[in-house]
Amino acid sequence: MENGAGAGDDEYTRDGSVDLRGNPVLRSKRGGWKACSFIVVYELFERMAYYGIASNLVIYLTEKLHQGTVEAANNVTNWSGTVFITPLIGAVVADAWLGRYWTFVAGSAVYLMGMLLLTLAVSVPALKPPPCDGGGGGAACPRASALQLGVYFGGLYTIALGHGGTKPNISTIGADQFDDFHPPEKLHKLSFFNWWMFTIFLGILFSTTVLVYLQDNVSWTVGYGIPTLGLMVSVAVFLAGTPLYRHKVPQGSPLATMGRVVAAAVWKWRVPLPADSKELHELELEHYTSRRGFRMDATVSMAFLNKAAVKPAARLPGWTLCTVTQVEETKQIVKLVPLLATMVVPCTLVAQAGTLFVKQGVTLDRRIGKFHVPPASLGAFVTATMLVCIVLYDRFLVPAVRRRTKNPRGITLLQRISLGMLLQIVTMVVTSVVESRRLGYARRHGLVAAGGQLPVTIFILLPQFVLLGVADAFLVVGQIEFFYDQAPESMKSLGTAMSLTAYGAGNLLSSAILAAVERVTGGGKGRTPWVTNNLNASRLDYYYAFLATLAAANLLAFVVLSCKYSYRVESTETIDVDVAMDDVQGGGVARVKSEAAPMA
């Protein structure tokens, strides 16, 4: 049609999409934004459910389960770390066996069970410890029993397990509704990730305002019950859209493929590489076109792995002979690993917003007239700032920069991520300065030993939340998009899971750093750790300055790796073709709003 294809060629999708029975699908009947609307509704309510728990979790652990600040913060980040690591399991299951749809359905059922268990844990009196005598204070607060902790944390980690099945697949299912082989749909897909993230942030915004307020001022039962009910409805909505979805057939375990390539290369380490790469083993082009896949040419990078595709003179086990495409797909994932490692520290900084930032808010005056601002509600400013920045980035920055760089995405994904990292450093410096002034006020007015609230407005924390939102608009969207797009076509779920794994590792690193800082800084007699239950006696300003220094060193490593990274060739070629074709058709380059395809 628009690309010059005949009506018959355009009737069916050309990317290998099928229905649940494995039959080819009509473009006009399935997929596109109509199918995505059902998927987006699910994600909206799922994010509302997740952040309805995560945003205020540190408050529940300290005020209701009576845990200390460091213990509660580490429990939050340990759980968050698990939440973002389990998607690796879900990605492998989806790509190798069940497919994205059925893995998602199973994961959402487990997720819902976890939400129901958590709602039960905060609702039944026997599953909660009694309140502190006299309103608080160490020994006056009875510890939660093993049963109470077991039920609550059982619900949390059931959610983490369900999240492993849903998170790496839901965004990929959404992206699968657009055909990469059809230029008009490819252009729609370019906007998918920005607007996908926009929807997510709407859910987060509701959680950090309405749900957090209900939890702090009405009841935890209502605050947990609403997102549980919302998640139940959203699963039903997702299932109702099943007749409209396009699906991709599982291509086999990507980890098994990569393991086979590495093992074959090691097995044949003495076998010389041919002078001509065309002598390496590869299947005919028809094999890939019939499966709507990509065939990749051999490259000289990581040449040792090319040995896996060498046709040996002597007879060797069949598994030792891999195709060039399998080798290049393995290389593409391996190339992402060093960059993935540099994403861990930025994700550690993100984790502070849901733990120590919130505990800072507890020490400040939260009154606006008769209204009391829940400390976790300041997280709404992170989300709101991200929403505004994404729109500004998409509508104004990209078109303006595109005219100068001639790059359809304005700046590259790695440049976008590096800007986010730089803004994070600025955020932590500002946070350290603000905290230093808060502690100075406590010392000047003799409020260090007493602890508790200072007569200082909670809104002195606003700059750090706003700056973190600006940073996340560059970092978070760019990171998810980068790992999805740079992963080989047969490993998209794995690519999405890799980006989520960085958050998991970042949260676990946050726990490790906080525990180490508490141990090292509080090692001597009379020495107060940088982070204690009494934040007025702590030195959080030193802790934030340490994180800023760590982030600066990490940014330097990221820039060095980014300069050496080369993007996937077929992605840069297809986006160039699509943008040029759209311009010829009169749609205008301005339609390229998002940055779903990589450009060097």
Name 579's Cβ contacts closer than 8 Å, sequence gap at least 6. Answer: 187, 408, 589, 592
CB atoms within 10 A of CB 525: 5
**Does 155 share its domain with 208?**
yes
The per-residue pLDDT for range 236-291, each reduced to its tens digit, is 999 999 999 999 888 777 788 899 999 999 999 999 999 998 899 998 888 777 66
578 within a domain of the structure (yes/no): no
pLDDT value of position 332: 92
- 447-467 in b/e burial notation, b at 16+ Cβ within 10 A? beeebeebebebbbbeebbbb
335 shares a domain with 294: no
Q: Is 433 exposed, middle or buried (0-12, 13-18, 19+ CB in 10 A)?
A: middle
Query: Of the candidates 218, 252, 286, which is a domain's last residue?
Result: 252
Name the pairing type of β-strands 367-368 and 371-372. antiparallel
Average confidence (pLDDT) over 510-518: 93
What's the angle, vertex CA 478, arms to CA 472 and CA 483, rounded to 5?
130
- Tell me what pLDDT residue 583 has: 42
Number of domains in the chain: 3
Q: What average pLDDT does this structure show over 554-574?
A: 79
Which range has the top average pLDDT, 32-46, 92-106, 454-468, 498-512? 454-468
In whole angstroms, give the CA distance from residue 326 to residue 232. Answer: 40
For residues 169 and 555, the model is more confident at: 555
**Same-domain pairing of 63 and 116:** yes
Left, alpha or beta for 373 (phi > 0: left; psi -120 to 50: alpha)?
beta
What's this model's pTM, rounded to 2 decimal places?
0.79
Q: Are residues 262 and 212 in the same domain?
A: no
pLDDT tens digits, one per residue of 331-385? 999 999 999 999 999 999 999 998 999 999 999 999 888 888 999 899 889 988 9
233 lies in a domain?
A: yes
Nearest Cα to 63, choosing from 7, 119, 144, 182? 144
| pLDDT at residue 19 is higher than 90 | no
**Residue 12 banded pLDDT, cuts 50, 70, 90:** confident
Asked if residue 575 is part of any domain, the answer here is no
Which helix (H) or strand (E) covers residue 235, if one does?
A: helix 220-240
Q: Please determine, for residue 558, whether its predicted confidence score (pLDDT) is greater than 90.
A: yes
Domain containing 506 — which CATH number? 1.20.1250.20
The pLDDT of residue 524 is 62
pLDDT higher at 405 or 426? 426
Q: Does the structure show a pLDDT above 60 at 600?
A: no
Residue 413 lies in a domain: yes
Instruction: Select from 578, 581, 584 the least CA-distant residue to 599.
Output: 578
Choose the most confident range, by mean pLDDT, from 15-24, 133-142, 359-368, 524-533: 359-368
Q: Which of 227, 252, 277 finishes a domain?
A: 252
188 and 234 together in one domain: yes
**Least confident span in 182-186, 206-210, 471-475:** 182-186
Q: Which helix (H) or strand (E) holds 371?
A: strand 371-372
Q: What is the pLDDT of residue 11?
A: 83
Say whether both 116 and 150 belong to one domain: yes
The pLDDT value given to residue 314: 78
Decide if 503 contacts 489 (C-beta within 8 A): no
Considering 322, 354, 380, which residue would you say is the last residue of a domain? 322
Query: In which domain, by residue range, is 48 found?
Result: 11-129+143-252
Question: 321 by DSSP, 3-state: which?
Answer: coil
Give the angle 154-155-157 at the CA atoms, nearest 5°. Answer: 65
* pLDDT tops 50 at residue 322: yes
Whether residues 244 and 227 share a domain: the answer is yes
User: CB-based contacts of 166: which residues, under 8 Å, 6+ apart?
Assistant: 46, 90, 104, 107, 108, 111
Does residue 270 belong to any structural domain of this protein? Answer: yes
In terms of domains, do 245 and 271 share one? no
